[in-house]
Amino acid sequence: MDELEILKKDWKKNESSYHQISEKEIYGMLHKRSSSIVKWILIISILEILFWVGLSVAFTDDEYKKTIQTYHLSTILPILTFINYGVIAYFIYLFYKNYKSINTTETVKKLMHSILKTRQTVKYYVWYNLAMTFFSFMLVIIFQIKYEPKLDAVFENAIESMGSTMFYMFLILIYAFIALVIVGFIWLFYRLLYGILLKRLNKNYKELEKMDL
């Protein structure tokens, strides 16, 4: 049993003269917990962008640059990457604002509002990353199909045996399925990473809701 549950049990057992003291103690603990959770959300988001930047730098060699030029992505991909990092940096700023807001709040209602705002920001952040992953994957695949010279002979043989309409429908379905699988794995990763923190934050919100009634 954690410290909060012990406090709640003691609160129920105590006489009415101790009601205000116990309520303040429980609020203080919920405030401290919520602040800690949002701080971890901020830290994890920073570590995440550092990880992806490091991975990008590590794999950007001459072969990679040559492939990007072959696919005619040498202009659009850097722009897309710059925009993506800019959006993620903005989300990190929002996480920081949420953390500061929770740290400085002094009432139950304001703390509840800050918790809801944080949960909403995290959800938007996750959905943005999933959408960007799907879009980037499909963009690279489309340009690969269009400009990869090694695929021309393979596609010609497949079109002759299947017909152009059937082949391209099949190709789209295959790549869309692969993209959804990749996005699915990333969604599971985010659900595990941020889902646990959001679940704890939601538990704090429900406890505060009881106090506010």
Residues in contact with 133: Cβ distance below 8 Å, sequence separation at least 6, in sequence order? 182, 183, 186
Cα–Cα dist 122/194, whole Å: 8
Q: How far apart are the first and last CA of the chain?
A: 25
Short-list 80, 83, 90, 101, CA closest to 45: 90
pTM of the model: 0.80
**Phi and psi for 36 in degrees, rounded to 5?**
-65, -40
Task: Give pLDDT tens digits for 142-192.
Answer: 888 888 777 777 777 777 777 777 777 888 888 888 888 989 999 998 988
**187 with 125: CB under 8 angstroms?**
no
What is residue 7's predicted lDDT score, i.e. its pLDDT?
A: 53
- Supply the mean pLDDT for the chain: 82
Contact present, 41 and 118 (Cβ < 8 Å): yes
Percent of the chain with pLDDT over 90: 24
Q: CA-to-CA distance for 205 and 27, rounded, in angstroms?
A: 11
Distance of alpha carbon 170 from alpha carbon 156, whole angstroms: 14
Q: Burial-class residue 164 by CB neighbours within 10 Å (0-12, 13-18, 19+).
A: exposed
- State residue 63's pLDDT score: 81
Q: For the ranges 52-56, 97-101, 151-155, 206-210, which has the lowest average pLDDT?
A: 151-155
CA 59 – CA 71 distance, rounded (Å): 17
pLDDT tens profile 46-57? 998 898 888 888
Q: What is the pLDDT of residue 123?
A: 92
